[in-house]
Structure 1
């Protein structure tokens, strides 16, 4: 089938593109390269440098006629969404609606949406959160993702557009962008390998559910053959605090840096961890990569990347 992957030059999207191509699908990528990178892009995919908010996207749908849209393009920085909620909504809500309207116009059969399990539930009532947990997002980013989920329900009921929502935990792995505020694993790894001092926000006991990108890709593959519309958490159900993460990465990188704490970020969620029980019962998905193995693979990637940059 023909699959349009938005954000297909980005961290998670590019891995999804690779997997879809390997399975023999035809893949079209849309990415404005604001956070994605050409070096992530699979040369076998057809690439359009384009913003999901562009009116020109209709011509792409008209010409390419994708069967499935896998939507990973996003403004994904939670803190940036707090600073500029209008921009966040423009990209994450209006951009998504631009895609959905074209899906209806041009007969797309399925819409796979990368949502957030890390930000959509807010401060949790119980741990790990399942899909029935109340949604009380504490950031405009989380609000926007929830809004798109609600729109997907509307498009399903009114236009019969099937959808699968994947609510991601904190995803890490090779190709993650170490610049900016998002992605503590990539940020810490990059700084440690460069001999710089990572900064732990607050006391470092805030927890997240760190999930390896390779496991996330398998969920995106399974979503292709699921013939119903539903919402699934993609996480490990295991909490890890930032201090623990710091020491694991310090050991793997061999860095000579201290555990340095800066001020806590205002409004930062204290604990976040999600259950994968529903998708395991429905599609047989479960996380296969332990945190130690995933971190090792991530550090190896960054070591090779920095080595090649140094060699050049």
Structure 2
């Protein structure tokens, strides 16, 4: 199987490449502008093409030179605050980029696109755990681009027969994560604690998130390569974890009590967030395997050794 992974040198992409690299029957081309990714994340046997998804001509060259069986599209602008400050640029990267990829898939006969969407499409919805059938109501330009891309994928499937699998990620964490994207609280805590500093929590720490390990995300994506048709699937643990529980896991990883400063809640912060993973279990027969305690320990150890 020949696969193109856009954004493969980034955080989640690095976990996808790591797992694909164990498969002898898979050939991978990575397309990444390296704005947040790193060459070191790309295994030696994989071809790396440095380019931007906004550059349609550069994409055309890659598609023309290969016969891809699938595209895993991870390249994106992932920071919600950035999208609020610069919605036009956010749109150019996230929507313009995906349209360039989809058009290349249409012209060069690529049968399947797998897309990294987000819990951000749901907005501030109290009907937790959120199922894929919920009405989407994003509250940021970033969420709007994810929601819109999902609809483009549906239409490209219906009009042009391209199979499309949408994965809505919960709060992803793991090794090689930056501090700016979704789920960045884990990497922020890693940085502070590795420097011997305490952490700050906005509110009382009882707000919840659904923290899912990046390796479990990558496993779901790879299992999704076999799907046909159009699918939307949450990738989550289905468990609510409070920030106070997250801090307890960090205390175990660090080996000492964590100093916590509680301050005023931030306006607009979501109190509860958890996604149903019933569809993930039903369609891909998967349940994320990594426990939060073990995942935080792995992530903290990596961060301390590499940063």
When normalised by structure 1's length, the TM-score is 0.93
The alpha-carbon distance between structure 1 residues 181 and 218, as it changes in their structure 2 partners (threshold 3 A), is closer
2:7 counterpart of 1:17:
no
Matched positions, count: 305
Q: Equivalences for 1:62-211 in 2 at 5 Å?
A: 62-117=64-119, 119-178=120-179, 183-211=184-212
When normalised by structure 2's length, the TM-score is 0.94
RMSD (CA atoms): 1.7
1:7 is matched with: 7
* Structure 2 residue ranges without an equivalent (≥5): none
The alpha-carbon distance between structure 1 residues 242 and 248, as it changes in their structure 2 partners (threshold 3 A), is same
Match of 2:63 among 46, 53, 61: 61
The alpha-carbon distance between structure 1 residues 33 and 39, as it changes in their structure 2 partners (threshold 3 A), is same
Runs of 4+ that moved beyond 6 A: none
Distance 2:198 2:100 in 1: 42
Report the CA distance between 1:97 and its aligned residue: 0.6
1:29 is matched with: 30
2:268 is matched with: 267
Secondary structure of the residue aligned to 1:148 is: helix
Conserved 8 A contact 2:172-2:183: no
1:212 is matched with: 213
The alpha-carbon distance between structure 1 residues 254 and 179, as it changes in their structure 2 partners (threshold 3 A), is farther
User: Please, which moves more after superposition, 180-189 or 166-175?
Assistant: 180-189
Report the CA distance between 1:113 and its aligned residue: 0.2
1:309 is matched with: none
Distance 2:238 2:70 in 1: 29
Conserved 8 A contact 1:5-1:69: yes
